[in-house]
Structure 1
């Protein structure tokens, strides 16, 4: 007879119960009222499945042995479990596995043996240990050894093949009666399941396996091949990858600010738009999809409202762009770590055969953050700077530790996680970088860790004769902003190459820089001589730039050169710009100033915008922006506080005690409060005799409640007493008492 799980839980100390709530956190949500509720939840199928997901290979072997032994029906001695598992499993390893299952309340001690939660049977396969179902008849008789000894070689081959597992095979019902399968069916050593399937009974499989009833066991994970890359090498490589990922993310946000891609009607980003992003950021489509997922998760980009929604940067992207490289990287890395999606699924086909689009619901997986952390935690166990032999080696180790986690994509998730982490610099050369290790342990300090890994910012560039500049490392923020304005990034990474063209120089002049300021920038910030070609380029663009001056009238155009004004008015574009001359050197237009400037540039002129004081006005297009969604992100799994767990255990103990006192009063006498003094007299008698009283009452909100008190005083319309559960002093108004009963000793 099985002792109920709740009785076993009541016999455990508070630390054991708190540990159970820590290992199976779903049992504590919402907080159980008492231990009966806890025991009921611990046996629910869904909760049992979650608990078994954390078991390693040895513990799952033990679970299979318990199922084979029917421990969910009758207690099974530990010696019988050891016999089923065979001589390969040391007793110490068995004890550890049993302690693991016991700590999770999947098993409990009962009648000199071990009992199993019935729902665990649903966790294992249909054929636990590769064994078939028990059968009656010959297979269960004492003649089984003699029958097995009498089979011929063909029949034994069939039996031994099925004994290895799985224990079912294909065999048509109309097969030759003289065939080995037909002969075995006749003698009861095989059982027909249906017209095409036969099954090896469990008793026959156990007999054939001898002293290893559950077959061979995988007791230890295979050795993980590692290579020492060196901490400095790993961190330096990771820093370069982080800078490249930042540059690509910035390019993506800027690109979508000027050319927002439409959101698919079914949700997500179209394949053609993803390819455009890949070309823009100079990456493959897999990396482009990852970056798109991350910037959306970080709320740097969002889906706009309207009839035709688009993917548009948010105002949060401007705040993000103002930070240093380490702060920007930390935002992206944390968004990736907590991303409840699997970007590796993008491009694959769903169950209906449709391709999974980026930013759609297809890659959504709520367990993705847990799986991602699990992969990184496996790398974190290795010494700093140590790399694994490859994704497959790490996948094998993690599969042994938790075979049930990850589902059918278990091993693919490991490979995808390492690839994504390498793009971001969390992993480099198959080793966890120092910033990645910090991100996993303390995300708030991740930026500081990357700052240490990044090379010191440089304050100079190397100007080349081909109108390029090479930045030999991350630049000081001010110098980087100036070069982004006057140049175009041609390649990024550990060293960034900027190219200078007529367009980029004009952009700097449009933003208010003068030719003298650009010459000074190149002369003071270059470690190499300024090429003559670059000097000529700046002077040539500056000579033609700003001879026309536009202002808001709606807009006006002015120039000291009357001939130039006449040339503009004679140009074909003048009609569409609606220019009208009001003075020899001034023309006006009803168009906004930005449109006037763009139209003149398209016509081949190089105007400059000015404000009311005549200073250069920067009309650079910053791209579209929408309000951030201010998503809080998925809740992170937080380790329960030990004090909170102990408090929850205390409340369950109190609830259990209250439930027991309530049961003890069910057969006793109870009074309803009436106009007489029965209630007061009962309370006064209990106070004199120092007895406990069960009280039912209604609070000020009309909510019914109950309490077990040991009254100390009755008077003034109030009963005062000690709570028998927690010892606290309680006061209950007499007029709110609805029923009362003495608690029998």
Structure 2
């Protein structure tokens, strides 16, 4: 006999057939069913959904309140887990194992003390600025993602060497926060900055925090959310998923993300639950983010810097985000304290020019934000690099389709031809130019990385700015209904009008496979009925064959005359 209760499977199959497409798609998504599941009809779907291992996984993923309703048989119908009256199916009762959790109590976190709120504000500010640095790093070079789903070792070291993070664990936490809030997205085994993330970097600090906090609330698992759209008290999070063995570690992870964002503060002692700063109250209650109480505790941002003769810029305080982003596109940030230091180099200015800046634009920007004017050494550096910029030109030969490198400086072209750092390009002399089979963009960035004053040229001979920055594709707006449309359509097309007959044949086929003992009720020609106890042995040609245990004979019964079947 099948491990799935056949009566319940039939009930569920009928409920699945009666459900609308949206409800079916939500069920399939919540149960993590592959859109290409090899199900033929709703009976296949019902048996798969009621399989003990599938039910055990589904029940373990239920939050505390849902489990309490199932255990008490008091909740609404949960498609795939209960019958229409809210009674759990047999496999669900087994998976519950007799637990009877009480519903989540209504608890309000204690208000944070003045010192705890100050620490939470400082932590939030540090997270915002550090996360922006992580995104700027990812814009230049995507962050590698290893098979375990964590940050690659090389990128961890890169963040440490750039003094963006204090330790490797912090790097993982920041990437995790950026991913769940939609600032980073996974693509091709790497994290790429999303369009939302690229916009977030240049926003003001209050807007940055409001977006981060709101997005984090949206990302919280259902068991942590409150009916009003906020979240339950963090002190209750550890019990949110009683049957999920991995939940305690996940709960700690979510509490840490809340702490990084400044939505929780430390308790009165290490053993006390986290407290709540004033700026988290509205979000917890389901309202909009209110950054004003947080901003009041943050260090004052500045919009001016000191430009030094030694080609550095010193910010006397946290630089406004939009200015910081542009300045980091021109100079290399050397320190990440509130009074940050930036250094201008040939490489950093050449990179800015390659990214589309102009000498006039750079000098105008620096004069606007400088408290000390633009020092002569810095002005000379910008102009000198700009004069050389474009000395090397990379284009596509319209006749051969190959990439060609040209320069009015023949000596420089000879240097490029023998530069071992460019050996991978396979550059070969072709008259007064160099030719390669690699793409124009590849050749351009190889030359730029080798610090040659290179520009890209389009097919009309005009200089063109190439964007090296990889931004993640826009989010797929397809919901579960779209993803499961083909599967749902297949199930509906196989669902005939005579579901009773289809289910009977399915039961008989399963009984034959299991050599099950059946009590079969048959309608006789005279209008009466008769029951036979058979060991099912075959099914074909519209007839059921089996050995009659009572008469010890083989019988063949027309399937169309069978009115009911019951396992003995």
Could you tell me the TM-score, scaled by structure 1's length?
0.42
Pick one of 203, 217, 223 that aligns with 1:324: 203
Aligned with residue 423 of structure 1, among 242, 260, 274: 260
Please name the residue that 2:523 is paired with.
Answer: none
- 2:169 aligned residue: 286
Separation of aligned partners in 1, 2:99 and 2:295: 43
User: 1:417: how far off?
Assistant: 6.0
Change (3 A) 1:294 1:428: same
Deviation sequence 1:700-742 (CA, Å, 0-9, x none): xxxxxxxxxxxxxxxxxxxxxxxxxxxxxxxxxxxxxxxxxxx
Aligned residue number for residue 295 of structure 1: 178
5 Å matches for 1:643-722? Answer: none
Q: Which residue of 2 aligns with 1:111?
A: none
Mapping for residues 2-41 of structure 1, pairs under 5 Å = 27-30=74-77
* Higher relative contact order structure (alpha carbons within 8 Å, sequence separation ≥ 6): 2
Deviations 1:3-49 (A, max 9, x none): xxxxxxxxxxxxxxxxxx999766332289xxx957999xx895995
For the Cα contact (< 8 Å) 2:417–2:428, is it kept in 1?
Answer: no
Confirm or deny: 8 A CA contact 2:120 2:263 kept in the other structure.
no
Partner of 2:485: none
The 1:498–1:421 alpha-carbon spacing in structure 2 relative to 1, beyond 3 Å, is: farther
Equivalences, count: 389
Show the counterpart of 1:3: none
1:485 is displaced (CA, Å) by 1.2
**Which structure 2 residue ranges, 5 or more long, are not aligned?**
1-64, 268-274, 481-568
CA deviation string 1:601-659 (max 9, x = no partner) = 466632222345665422242137456456989xxxxxxxxxxxxxxxxxxxxxxxxxx
For 2:346, which of 484, 502, 506 is the aligned residue?
A: 502
Tell me if the contact between 2:457 and 2:463 (Cα under 8 Å) persists in the aligned partners.
yes
Q: Residues of 1 paired with 2:458 and 2:120: CA distance?
A: 48
CA distance in 1, matches of 2:265, 2:312: 30
In structure 2, the partner of 1:534 is: 378
Equivalent of residue 580 in structure 1, options 430, 434, 446 = 430
The alpha-carbon distance between structure 1 residues 549 and 25, as it changes in their structure 2 partners (threshold 3 A), is same
CA separation in 1, counterparts of 2:280 and 2:111? Answer: 21
- The structure-2 alpha-carbon separation of the partners of 1:524 and 1:562, relative to structure 1 and needing over 3 Å to count, comes to same
Query: In 2, distance between residues paired with 1:557 and 1:403?
Result: 62
1:228 equivalenced with 2:102 (yes/no)? no
What residue in structure 2 maps to residue 544 of structure 1?
A: 388
**Matching of residue 247 in structure 1 with residue 132 in structure 2:** yes
Q: Relative to structure 1, is the Cα distance of residues 428 and 247 closer, same or farther in structure 2, using a 3 angstrom cutoff?
A: farther
Looking at structure 1, the residues matched to 166 and 453 of structure 2 have their Cα atoms a distance apart, in angstroms, of 34
CA-to-aligned-CA distance 1:61-113 (integer Å, 9 cap, x gap): xxxxxxxxxxxxxxxxxxxxxxxxxxxxxxxxxxxxxxxxxxxxxxxxxxxxx
- How many angstroms apart in 2 are the aligned matches of 1:612 and 1:511? 19
TM-score by length of 2: 0.53
In structure 2, C-alpha distance between the alignment counterparts of 1:579 and 1:334, rounded to whole Å: 57
Kept after mapping to 1: 8 A contact 2:112/2:278? no
8 A Cα contact 1:511 1:616, kept in partner: no
The residue that corresponds to 1:195 in the other structure is: none
Q: Distance in 2 between matches of 1:323 and 1:631?
A: 29
SS at match of 1:498: strand
Residue 438 of structure 1: aligned partner: 282
Kindly state the Cα deviation for residue 481 of structure 1 after the two structures are TM-superposed: 3.8
Q: Is the 1:555–1:590 contact (alpha carbons within 8 Å) kept by the matching residues of 2?
A: yes
Pick closer, same or farther for the CA change 1:607–1:283 going to 2, 3 Å: same
- Which residue of the other structure, out of 560, 577, 595, is the alignment partner of 2:442? 595
**CA 1:571 to 1:538, structure 2 compared with 1: closer, same or farther past 3 Å?**
same
Asked if 1:261 corresponds to 2:145, the answer is: yes
Query: Counterpart in 2 of 1:211?
Result: none
Partner residue of 1:485? 329
User: Where does 1:270-285 land on structure 2 (aligned, <5 Å)?
Assistant: 272=153, 275-276=156-157, 279=160, 281-285=164-168
Mark the CA change 1:590 to 1:24 in structure 2 (over 3 Å): closer, same or farther: closer
Considering only aligned residues, what root-mean-square deviation do their CA atoms show, in Å? 5.2
**8 A contact 1:461–1:472 mirrored in 2:** yes
User: How far apart, in 1, do the equivalents of 2:326 and 2:152 lie?
Assistant: 35
Is the 8 Å Cα contact of residues 375 and 414 (structure 1) preserved in structure 2? no
- CA drift of 1:52 comes to 2.0
1:254 Cα deviation after fit = 3.3
SS state at 1:52 partner: coil
Shift of 1:525: 1.4
Compared CA separation, residues 56 and 323, structure 1 to 2 (3 A) = closer
Please name the residue that 1:312 is paired with.
191
Alignment match, 1:179:
none
Task: Specify the alignment match of 2:306 in structure 1.
Answer: 462
Over 3 Å counting, the alpha-carbon distance change for 1:316 and 1:29 in structure 2 is farther
Q: How much has 1:576 moved relative to structure 2? A: 1.9
Shift of 1:598: 3.5
What SS is found at the alignment partner of 2:374? coil
| 1:352-406 alpha-carbon deviations (Å, 9 max, x no partner) | xxxxxxxxxxxxxx74667xx999747xxxxxxxxxxxxxxxx6xx79x999989
Q: Does 1:608 align with 2:455?
A: yes
Q: CA deviation at 1:595?
A: 2.6
Q: Secondary structure at the match of 1:295?
A: helix
C-alpha displacement of 1:313? 1.8
Higher mean C-alpha displacement, 544-553 vs 268-277: 268-277
